[in-house]
């Protein structure tokens, strides 16, 4: 099976996906990623954790220890 990567304009994306779904020989993988809201929430949470760490309210694991566990 071959794979193809396409870049489609946002305004034409919905139409294009519906067109591709209608083809019986195409296997379309779900490409849903994080929405802008989810990304913003994740960043906000990360910054709050960083602030708590700097205030001494949150402990952190050194990167070396984290990697050693892997």
CA distance 65 to 16: 46
Tokens of 10: 């946002």
Q: Is residue 27 within 8 Å of 1, Cβ to Cβ?
A: yes
Distances (CA, A) of 35 to 16, 40, 55: 20, 9, 30
Regarding predicted confidence, which is higher, 34 or 62?
A: 62
Q: Give residue-wise pLDDT tens across range 2-53.
A: 888 889 998 998 999 899 999 999 888 876 677 788 889 999 999 999 999 9
Between CA 10 and CA 16 the distance in angstroms is 10
pTM exceeds cut of 0.75:
no
């Amino acid at each position: 099976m071959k794979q193809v990567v396409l870049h489609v304009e946002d305004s034409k994306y919905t139409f294009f996906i519906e067109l591709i779904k209608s083809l019986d020989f195409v296997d379309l993988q779900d490409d849903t990623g994080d929405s802008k809201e989810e990304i913003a929430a994740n960043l906000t949470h990360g910054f709050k954790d960083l602030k708590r760490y700097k205030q001494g309210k949150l402990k952190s694991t050194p990167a070396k220890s984290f990697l050693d566990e892997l």
